[in-house]
Structure 1
Amino acid sequence: MLILDKNHSDQQLSDLFVNIAEPAPYLYLTAPMSYFAKSIQDVLSELNVDPAKGLSTDELTKRQQQYGPNKLIGKKRKSILQLFVAQLQDWLIYVLFVAVVITLFMGEYVDAVIILIVIILNAVLGVVQEIKAGNAIEALQKIASPKAIVKRDGNIKEVDSETLVPGDILVLDTGRFIAADIRLIESANLQVEESSLTGESVPSSKEADEVHDEDTSLGDRNNSAFMSTLVTYGRGIGVVTATSMETEVGKIANIIGNEQESKTPLEERLDKLGKTLGLLAIGICVFIFIVAWFQGRELLEMFLTSVSLAVASIPEGLAAIVAVVLSIGVTSMSKRNAIIRQLPAVETLGSVNVICSDKTGTLTQNKMTVTRSFTLDGEQEISGEQEGTPDTQLLAKAMVLCSDATYENEEGTGDPTEIALLIYADNLNVSRQALAKENKRIGEFAFDSDRKLMSTLIESDGNFHVYTKGAIDNLLDKCTHVLEHGKEEPITDAHKKTFLNAADQMSDLALRTLGVAYKQVNGPLPADEMEQDLVLIGMVGMIDPPRPEVIESVKRAKAAGITCVMITGDHKNTAFAIARELGIADDMKQALTSQELNAMAEADFIANVEQYHVFARVSPEDKVRIVRALKSHGNIVSMTGDGVNDAPSLNAADIGVAMGITGTDVAKGAADMILTDDNFSTIVVAIEQGRNIYNNIKKSVIFLLTCNLGEVITMFVTLSIGWEVPLVATQLLWINLITDSLPAVALGMDPGDPDVMKEKPRGKNESFFAGGSGWNVLVGGLLIGMLTVIAFWYGYYEHGVSPFDHSVDAAVVEYARTMAFMVLVASQLFYSLAIRNHVKSIFSIGLFSNRYLASAIVLGLALQLLVIGIPFMQDAFGLQMLDLKGWVMVIALGLVPLFLSEFLKIFRRKHQPA
């Protein structure tokens, strides 16, 4: 049974039902769901539960029937058959199916089988990639179903989290995942790790007694805790306010499930190309049929001629070649720490012009680090191992002795802030092992969110000291003295102002400040007396620092026309400080918070979204809204992230990029690409590879279309003027599927152009024929076609007869067809060298730098020799061996397109803009 808020719109209800695999009864809840904006008593009253006893068994049973199990509901997965059928829904595939039917009707069974193999190969490659997709909901279900400790019938017990219902009293302790969304009713030093939901790199402190405004963002709801987050410190009790799909994680699952999949630019281009080629093939067939009718040819001959020309116009191997090139690209990128989950995503990367990135763990190291310290000796920047003054040494020592964290072998446990303090001590060469051996903790005053302080009582060789750390303004109120150049001096207003100014300067740099003080005492004393008459030592400033390599990567991205946008759950000042350091933003006006975003009209936000480079304190819904707004301007958007909260936006973006090390299973399941090194720089490298892969695909497409146009020109010209058919269907299929395909695949493996990142991103609607490629196809096709016509004519001429004479011996026609067949193949193979770059000479890029292409040309020529040299192959293809004059003519005519192309490149280079 589903419980629905009656204020849900019809569209929201429709969206929700899309995700339900099985029908379920439902009823409406009239109570609003903003429990964080209500007092504890109001929440308990609305949920009708006594916190001392919890729900009774009868009430629990009733609510379980109403609310159903506390688990996420996902879309029904497509079967392998459905995935396979989906791969066949493409115009180019439709055209190939028609070709299969026609060839079967003609009795050309071998040709039909070859085309079917091409179709099946393409579909299987697509299914193999997509079978791994759609795991986001399953991953959510895995991490969101822990055991839970609840109070029911007055007893505390551990239960399966699926049995939880709104109104259950949930008990929280350190190290336990939270099994549902709750409103806290008690808290004691409670801290919850929420980075996967909010993006914040440090645990959030929770306080049950707080009451928030209705518009408080998710990361600031300190009186609430959420499903799948982790208790890292303290304890608490809460009342369950939402389960299953109504939780914050459930809303994310719902967004993932409802996000409409869109075609990648490559898929759109190939689909458009397939439609164009299909219409062209039909048009050619009709035209030639009409021409042949007026020429008085036989009906069967007209049909065979039309089909032959249709076969010549369709690049049968295009779909399979594109899939193979993409697969090669996937393998290459995996060696560069980028795993591609869907083949078309490789090409889409090359079109990206906006990278939206989460901050924590993606642009930053997800590791709090002390970068500055301050004592009255002065301020000190911390970077690696260095020596400190005696005062800073004491500062580090005090931080270590007032800590519950551990850090050994680069692995830490405990609060990230305290771990950062231990590393700070290591950097100042303070021996923590010696401190642990010489000092013993005999008392403590635990951290409290009201005091914002923590104190420890340490005994060492009969001497007793109190060490206190916490917020600098709270600490100043507890201090009567200050450490100045190794001496304890009475604290003055000037001292306090100096420390507060230093704290302000650190805050301007988005540093989190933490002060420390100490005092010597005569012996053990009560906790409430520890934090009196303290001596202030100093303070440190810490931050989750940016990854060093990201700065250069952002510069490279900008140079390539790519805009970087930071989208984070962190605070605005912190986010902007990191963005400014990385070069993502240079003015605070470029930063926007969730509250500011939600206060804007949708039309205004969409119109101005490109002005903002930093979005702070955002919710998962905000991230999706930002991505969609950017896409509405025609941008190709990449979104990077690692948390559960990033999954919907990863799914909504053109390219979702998840972190492989720190990323959650949910983020990986929703992403198109996974970075195995969690390095933002790998994204820029992947974009460079994506651009080169697209260029290689474009080379393959242009080469195939040029070759097929040459075949069409050959057939069209000779048939229009009344000659015999120069190439039969079997010969055309051999050329399209074997001879053309070898160099086409080899072009797809061309080494990357080192200048590719100097170019601007391709436009979303840019066709394969942009940048003069259309003219290259036209000119190259016309040239190859006319050279083949000349070769066909020469076959007649060498025997002293005219191609207009239809009574000549069949052997002469066979010789002429062999000439046309060989010149067509030779000119195509040699022309593939010129296709590699439309401006650079083959000598500047290296004649043999693509060894695969060189091998393909040699192999292609060798296969041609086999076809005309082996008797049974000669008979199968209707060919014969050429004489010396014929071979000379084949080589001479075959090299013409390559030489002419190189001459045109000289002209292009001279007139190329500087």
Structure 2
Amino acid sequence: MSRVNLIEKNSDSELVGQGEEADFKNLFKLDNIRDGVSLGLVQQLGGEQGLAKIFQVDLKRGVQDEEQVSTLRNRYGANLPIVKELTPLWKLIVECLGDTMLQILIVAAIVSTVLGIIEGEGGWYEGLTIFLAIFLIIGITAGNNYAKERQFAKLQSKLDEGHVQVKRGGNITTISNKDIVVGDVLLFQLGDIFNVDGLYLSGSEVKIDESAMTGESDEMLKAPLDVCLKDQKGKSPFLMSGTKVNEGTGVMLVLQVGEKTVQNEMKRLGESDSTPTPLQVKLEGVAETIGKVGVIVAILTFVILLVRLFIEYAQNDEQTFWEQFWHLDCLQKILKFFMIGVTIIVVAVPEGLPLAVTITLAFSVNKMKDEQNLVKTLASCEIMGGVNNICSDKTGTLTMNTMQVNSIFCYGSNYKDYQLLQIKNLEKDYLDLLAASNLYNSSAYPKRGINGKFEQIGNKTECALIEFCDMLGYQLSSYRPSDNILRVIPLNSKRKMMISLVHHNNKIYLFTKGAPEMVLKKCSKFINSNGEEAKLTSQDTNNIQALRTLGNAYKILNYHLEYDFDSIPEEYLLTDLTLINIAGIKDPVRPDVPSAIQQCYRSGIIVRMAKAIARDCKILGPDSDLHEYEAMEGSQFRQLTGVEVQEVKDLLKFQEIVVHLKVLARATPEDKFILATGLKQLDNVIAVTGDGTNDAPALRKADVGFAMGITGTDVCKDAADIILLDDNFSSIITACKWGRNIYNCIRKFIQFQLTVNVVALFMSVLGAAVTKEAPLTSIQMLWVNLIMDTFASLALATEPPSDRLLNRKPYGKRESIVNSIMYRTVIGASIYQIAILCLILFIPDRIFDFDDSLDKEYEDRPIQRLTMFFQTFVLMQICNSISCRKLDEVSLNPFSGLFNNSLFWLINLIEVAVQYLLILFGDKFAVVCELTVWQHIFCWIFALGGMIVAIFVRTLPSRWFNGINIFAEEGIEEENLDETIASKLRRKSSIRIGSVYDENHENKRSVQKRLSVFKE
């Protein structure tokens, strides 16, 4: 390898580096590009050839072999994305200690422990036990965050995977983005987004959207270095990572990869935390209400306990009130009451709500990936639960995405299916012309696999035509890559045609292909059945098949080979053409799509799509049964509705149309955007699928955008929320099912937590008022908090979805998250549990054979009664969590689907085991004593009785509870989230988790809709 010594200077106008480790970052500084400094720097190195010499690559053949790839990667780095450093476990533990109430409880526990040590006789037990319990909660919470953060980071790496085409050893090869190295010669086309920085070498009419990097909305025209040195105005040879190809195809030399790229430099400067999902915001309203009630109950309990203590002191004849008040024992009791109040707040404020959302999302995202849904934005998972409209693209989503020529109009005749083989017998000169027009004038590079079948790489329609030519005996390698191609004018959405000027058989040919209606407009002749050019009539035009078609035409240009072909006006080129052929290309419908479409309708989801295969998909019936608005042309739809400042003009007309509309034929990007806009204005929740650059506006406008993982362009994937790894419509049904399941899991958790809160808060106040002490001690309530927050969120938030979820309508946009069915369950379970706990608390000792001789050891606390109270309370919550697995009015059996979720049962077994260990060995640490066998049996009878009551409650009509609505469920404004009681009192344990996942992806809702880029 030769060494090129570059002198290191402080000035930005110089390349910085030493020897072979040259640093090209100054080439891509915006000021340097704008001021022409970068052009000068490249010129100093000898232009493209000088750079090629540094890397020891041939610009026509690319990197030589894998050995050179390895050398370049070691020297200049790998093309790996910036990955935010994951938080170590000890930092997560420290962050959990930021919880205000836990901090207060820790201080109180330390003071209690110190006072207990001074007092002696085991007085330090409770303080130390609370101290240990707090750190157990912190440890479990931090451990859970640690695991989830790493799960999201693993998924993040999947999002950065993509494929590009490069020249390696003279061959066009498809490689992963991560395998690109400095010195690679990379091919790009319309719709690509660069993830490396490089120098433009060659191409045709390449226009780049650099707004993401420069903030400038105007497209930048790219040209080779020598052209830019002559005329710097409006042209540049520099291609930056993060920019998009709006027009054209071309070749670039890669100069920077990985963390050195412009895009990654900006990412490093602009790191930010993720925003909460809509469901998390909505749940803050629920948490706020519960938090307020918890604070009131905590204060009330503390005041009641304090008043009862002072009354007791006032009634004591042996010592005066002040003598007792200034005693160490009084301070210990007041501190104990204070800890009970703080613990009530810890238990009441539902810290587990945001944690449950995050766990559910983490669980769902992982499972959805296994079912071919790669989630980019977390919110899209939950939003899919409410989707009631799917606007589907056709190609690849509903079809196999393996294009094939199944009919062709050529040589004056129509050929279909098996007749295509007869074309081999046509005149050789005509076949040569047919092959040249299709093989020269394309950009795809399909490859023949080991089994002899082609792998369609690039534009699928072009691949189909290339395979057709191969069947006729003409191979792509004989035509491309080639120096015979003099000029290429790429396809765009306005012209709808691609043009190539080619030196072929000692003549200059113009070959064009595109939409047949556009090609036919430019043709005055066609090749008839005698192989002669004849006038093209309207009757000939009518013979063309109405499939997915593509027209090919040509003319011979009277120019010398040395002529400047770039200067020929496009208007001249596209006149007086001769039609070669019209090809009918069909993409078969996937076998499972018709049944998936029918499942959508059963699920209350309307599917709207393009007309060509609507009947094959069972979307449309016979023409005689169609409503006038059921299948419409895009132009008619646009004319009747229109769009103005991202709103539909005639919303009433739009509403009349969409009631019936299922098919939108010949839809433009604007039509798709109008459809998505109008449906959202009518409060629908919509999903849009797409694979092309022109689908991006509609994908961004939709509530959830689906991009095709195989055929989708980078622009399309960038705009989407979920990527379908298999390009299959059935995978969208899977996303709907998981979205509905997220809502279900959260509702199950809320249903369970509300019951625990209602019962715990009520019994705390009642116990304090009647028995002069809270029935549950601080350590016991912390254990309950662990059950109802962390353990319950893990158990209930990881319930897998049932297919039965698809047999009902989607969740409404304004539907309350706590519905009448849940209120019915919470009220029924709470009344039963309160009744049982009051029975245990106030029933005479002889009924349950309570041993009051133990009371003296626990400062006259009715220890066996309160231990049974504690045991029954916990077991009832465990059994209630089983009942809460069912949300509908149909499922009466709480054990149906018994083995669907092994984690649920594992957690419940752990809870039962720990509870029994506390009873058996907790003693004065947990403030409990042993229970008799009969007392244990009664605890289980009461707990299991709650499940029987839950079955009975489910038979009650839910309409009886329709009027109940006690929560601020419209949610809290995002800017006010940190001002809520829940936020101030309890640190949200899920804040960090999502940020790792969303960090490198723009929040779709905050991105400016650059519609002008795609309108063409």
Q: With structure 2 as the length reference, what TM-score do the two structures score?
A: 0.58
AA aligned opposite 1:266: L
What is the CA distance between 1:837 and its match in structure 2?
1.7
What is the CA distance between 1:730 and its match in structure 2?
1.0
Q: State the distance in 2 between where 1:627 and 1:96 align.
A: 47
Q: What residue in structure 2 maps to residue 68 of structure 1?
A: none
AA aligned opposite 1:690: G
Alignment counterpart, residue 421 of structure 1, candidates 441, 450, 465: 465
Q: What residue in structure 2 maps to residue 336 of structure 1?
A: 371
Q: State the distance in 2 between where 1:310 and 1:323 align.
A: 22
Q: SS of 2:922's equivalent? A: helix
Asked if the contact 2:498–2:512 (Cα under 8 Å) also holds between the matched residues in 1, the reply is no
How many positions carry a matched residue from both structures?
747
AA aligned opposite 2:285: K
Q: Is the counterpart of residue 754 in structure 1 residue 803 in structure 2?
A: yes
What whole-Å deviation, never above 9, does each CA across 1:64-119 have from its counterpart, x for those lacking one? xxxxxxxxxxx999886899999999999666666556656654311321333355
Q: State the distance in 2 between where 1:492 and 1:293 align.
A: 106
Asked if the contact 1:126–1:343 (Cα under 8 Å) also holds between the matched residues in 2, the reply is no
Distance 1:855 1:600, change over 3 A: closer
AA aligned opposite 1:775: R
Q: Is the counterpart of residue 287 in structure 1 residue 300 in structure 2?
A: yes
Q: State the distance in 1 between where 2:823 and 2:553 align.
A: 68
Q: SS of 2:840's equivalent? A: helix
Q: What residue in structure 1 maps to residue 750 of structure 2?
A: 701
Alignment counterpart, residue 885 of structure 1, candidates 934, 959, 969: 934
Distance 1:294 1:703, change over 3 A: same
Q: Is the counterpart of residue 860 in structure 1 residue 917 in structure 2?
A: no
1:159-238 paired onto structure 2 within 5 Å? 193-196=189-192
Alignment counterpart, residue 540 of structure 1, candidates 583, 590, 612: 583
Q: State the distance in 1 between where 2:485 and 2:676 align.
A: 47
Alignment counterpart, residue 405 of structure 2, candidates 345, 356, 370: 370
Asked if the contact 1:402–1:454 (Cα under 8 Å) also holds between the matched residues in 2, the reply is no
Asked if the contact 1:830–1:894 (Cα under 8 Å) also holds between the matched residues in 2, the reply is yes
Deviates more, 1:334-343 or 1:77-86: 77-86
AA aligned opposite 1:110: L
Q: SS of 1:695's equivalent? A: helix
Q: SS of 2:756's equivalent? A: helix
Q: What residue in structure 2 maps to residue 523 of structure 1?
A: none
Alignment counterpart, residue 945 of structure 2, candidates 875, 896, 900: 896
What is the CA distance between 1:860 and its match in structure 2?
3.3
Distance 1:280 1:451, change over 3 A: closer
AA aligned opposite 2:751: I
Distance 1:810 1:797, change over 3 A: farther
Q: What residue in structure 2 maps to residue 685 of structure 1?
A: 734
Q: Is the counterpart of residue 313 in structure 1 residue 351 in structure 2?
A: no
Q: SS of 2:528's equivalent? A: strand
Q: What residue in structure 1 maps to residue 136 of structure 2?
A: 114
Q: Is the counterpart of residue 270 in structure 1 residue 283 in structure 2?
A: yes
Asked if the contact 1:561–1:761 (Cα under 8 Å) also holds between the matched residues in 2, the reply is yes
Q: SS of 2:386's equivalent? A: coil
Distance 1:145 1:651, change over 3 A: farther
AA aligned opposite 1:419: C
Asked if the contact 2:593–2:729 (Cα under 8 Å) also holds between the matched residues in 1, the reply is yes
What is the RMSD of the two structures over their aligned residues, measured on CA atoms?
A: 6.5
Asked if the contact 1:87–1:127 (Cα under 8 Å) also holds between the matched residues in 2, the reply is no
Q: What residue in structure 1 maps to residue 55 of structure 2?
A: none
Q: What residue in structure 1 maps to residue 784 of structure 2?
A: 735
Q: SS of 2:371's equivalent? A: coil
Asked if the contact 1:139–1:665 (Cα under 8 Å) also holds between the matched residues in 2, the reply is no
Asked if the contact 1:823–1:894 (Cα under 8 Å) also holds between the matched residues in 2, the reply is yes
Q: State the distance in 1 between where 2:362 and 2:894 align.
A: 28
Q: SS of 1:372's equivalent? A: strand
Distance 1:701 1:287, change over 3 A: same
Distance 1:641 1:840, change over 3 A: same
Alignment counterpart, residue 482 of structure 1, candidates 528, 538, 557: 528
Q: State the distance in 2 between where 1:726 and 1:423 align.
A: 80
Asked if the contact 2:409–2:582 (Cα under 8 Å) also holds between the matched residues in 1, the reply is yes
Asked if the contact 2:776–2:870 (Cα under 8 Å) also holds between the matched residues in 1, the reply is yes
What is the CA distance between 1:820 and its match in structure 2?
0.8
Q: SS of 1:587's equivalent? A: strand
What is the CA distance between 1:772 and its match in structure 2?
2.3
Deviates more, 1:244-253 or 1:286-295: 244-253
Distance 1:437 1:143, change over 3 A: closer
Distance 1:706 1:102, change over 3 A: farther
Q: What residue in structure 1 maps to residue 632 of structure 2?
A: 587
1:497-896 paired onto structure 2 within 5 Å? 497-503=538-544, 506=546, 509=547, 511-514=549-552, 539-542=582-585, 549-550=592-593, 552-562=595-605, 577=612, 583=619, 586-588=631-633, 600-604=644-648, 617-618=668-669, 636=685, 638=687, 640=689, 655=704, 657-662=706-711, 672-722=721-771, 724-738=773-787, 742=791, 744-794=793-843, 796-798=845-847, 813-838=862-887, 839-843=889-893, 846=896, 848-850=898-900, 852=902, 853-868=904-919, 870=920, 872-896=921-945
Q: What residue in structure 1 maps to residue 76 of structure 2?
A: none
Distance 1:545 1:715, change over 3 A: same
What whole-Å deviation, never above 9, does each CA across 1:356-383 have from its counterpart, x for those lacking one? 666665566666542433469975654x
Q: State the distance in 1 between where 2:537 and 2:336 align.
A: 101
Distance 1:580 1:84, change over 3 A: farther
1:75-114 paired onto structure 2 within 5 Å? 106=112, 107=127, 108-114=130-136
Distance 1:476 1:551, change over 3 A: same
Q: State the distance in 2 between where 1:788 and 1:139 align.
A: 57
What whole-Å deviation, never above 9, does each CA across 1:160-201 have from its counterpart, x for those lacking one? xx9xxxxxxxxxxxx9769xxxxxxxxxxxxx8314489xxx
Distance 1:768 1:94, change over 3 A: farther
What whole-Å deviation, never above 9, does each CA across 1:528-560 have from its counterpart, x for those lacking one? xxxxxx999964223667766555545444443
What whole-Å deviation, never above 9, does each CA across 1:402-438 have from its counterpart, x for those lacking one? 6537652213578755531343468xxx5638x9999
Q: State the distance in 2 between where 1:92 and 1:268 align.
A: 21
AA aligned opposite 1:513: G
Q: State the distance in 1 between where 2:500 and 2:872 align.
A: 86
Q: What residue in structure 2 maps to residue 432 of structure 1?
A: 473
Q: State the distance in 2 between where 1:244 and 1:422 align.
A: 30
Identity of aligned residues (%): 23
What is the CA distance between 1:139 and its match in structure 2?
9.6
What is the CA distance between 1:899 and its match in structure 2?
0.7
Asked if the contact 2:758–2:830 (Cα under 8 Å) also holds between the matched residues in 1, the reply is yes
Distance 1:542 1:591, change over 3 A: farther
Q: State the distance in 2 between where 1:87 and 1:607 align.
A: 53
Q: What residue in structure 2 maps to residue 16 of structure 1?
A: none
Distance 1:145 1:421, change over 3 A: closer
Asked if the contact 1:784–1:828 (Cα under 8 Å) also holds between the matched residues in 2, the reply is no
Asked if the contact 1:334–1:340 (Cα under 8 Å) also holds between the matched residues in 2, the reply is yes
Q: SS of 1:760's equivalent? A: coil
What is the CA distance between 1:688 and its match in structure 2?
0.8
What is the CA distance between 1:813 and its match in structure 2?
0.9
Deviates more, 1:114-123 or 1:702-711: 114-123
Name stretches of at least 5 consecutive residues in structure 2 with no aligned partner: 1-10, 13-28, 48-80, 113-126, 168-181, 195-201, 208-218, 225-230, 247-261, 311-332, 440-444, 490-496, 556-576, 621-629, 963-1016
What is the CA distance between 1:689 and its match in structure 2?
1.7
Asked if the contact 2:596–2:730 (Cα under 8 Å) also holds between the matched residues in 1, the reply is yes
What is the CA distance between 1:281 and its match in structure 2?
1.8
What is the CA distance between 1:815 and its match in structure 2?
0.6
AA aligned opposite 1:285: A
What whole-Å deviation, never above 9, does each CA across 1:608-663 have from its counterpart, x for those lacking one? 888788695549xx999997886666555555556677778767765454544445
Q: State the distance in 1 between where 2:222 and 2:608 align.
A: 27
Q: What residue in structure 2 maps to residue 187 of structure 1?
A: none
Alignment counterpart, residue 327 of structure 1, candidates 348, 355, 362: 362
Distance 1:364 1:592, change over 3 A: farther
What is the CA distance between 1:743 and its match in structure 2?
5.6
AA aligned opposite 2:543: A
Asked if the contact 2:298–2:342 (Cα under 8 Å) also holds between the matched residues in 1, the reply is yes
